[in-house]
A = this chain, B = another copy of it.
Amino acid sequence: MSLFPSKSRLAHIVFEHDDKSSKTFDVVLLIAILLSVIIVILDSVAELRYNYGHIFYALEWAFTIVFTVEYALRLWLSKRKIGYVLSFYGLVDLLAIVPTYLSLVVLNTQFLVVIRSLRLLRVIRVLKLGRFLKDAEFLSEALRASRAKIQIFIGSMVTIVLIAGTVMYIVEGPESGFTSIPMSMYWAIVTLTTVGFGDITPVTSIGKFIASLIMLMGYGIIAVPTGIVTSEMTQANNRRKLAKARMCHNCDKLTFEIDAAYCKYCGDKFPEKK
């Protein structure tokens, strides 16, 4: 970052991504975020903390100060200060620095680790730019489009999980590890999602039989979300193609080929595209 730049220049460096110094800022920020996250991860490994705990601690504070400066900078530079503070990114930025300061006053610092790891979300802001945006939009578009279908699917899943869980709880009983309906539902989810930890498994013949049916069901069900998302994506792809469709002003029928010059239904000539 250039030395003592004007406020407007600083704002450009911080908020824009179109010239050299602003790009440098983004890259430096990206690296800082990733490193700070990696430190959180490494610090959780007992032997590493034992050996390098003090280094991690120092680095943790270093990054916190860097992020604090950045936060102050963004606050100072942004026109609508309240707007920034309450925005998604504003809160994520705040969550990135708060835990370290809290760790001075809070004794049980365990849960702070989770918040700390949320720092990774800050990467989004940097990745938001560039060629990813278009495809990210495409994906979220496809997922948003199939939201209702997915909700129905989840609903059916929950019902199946409850029924399956209850049945297995009755059939197998506590001695097989199906100690309660919640436990059985946990097993049902483990099974329906084809994860299959094997920490709880049916032991009775009838239990094994019902489990088999549940598994085959899960095997079939997995096709549904895939089908939903896939067809939505194909749809989204088609939509882009459709944007190039023509409608005949004479017979109101649609023609999809971009290079069509005549309506195929009534032979009417298309006007030049606007």
Contact = CB atoms under 8 A, between A and B. Distances in A.
A152 B132 contact: yes
Interface residues of A, number: 117
Contact of A252 (B223, B225, B247, B256): B247
Nearest to A247: B247
A253 interface: yes
A96 interface: no
Contact of A182 (B41, B236, B241): B41
A154 B216 contact: yes
Tell me how many chains of this kind the complex includes: 4
A182 B45 contact: yes
A194 to B, nearest CB: 5
Given A195-B191, A219-B193, A222-B226, A273 B252 contact: yes
B264 A260 contact: yes
Contacts of A153: 139
A6 B248 CA distance: 49
Interface string A206-231: 00110110011011101111111111
A163 B265 contact: no
A245 interface: yes
A159 B191 contact: no
Contact of A218 (B131, B151, B193, B269): B193
B222 A219 contact: yes
Contacts of A189: 212, 215-216
B166 A114 contact: yes
Contacts of A182: 41, 44-45, 205, 208-209
B261 A265 contact: yes
Given A229-B223, A263-B262, A135 B152 contact: yes
Contact of A234 (B192, B223, B234): B234
A235 interface: yes
A190 B197 CA distance: 9
A247 B117 CA distance: 48
A31 interface: no
Given A110-B170, A231-B236, 8 more contacts: A120-B162, A121-B159, A182-B205, A192-B219, A197-B197, A246-B247, A247-B249, A252-B273
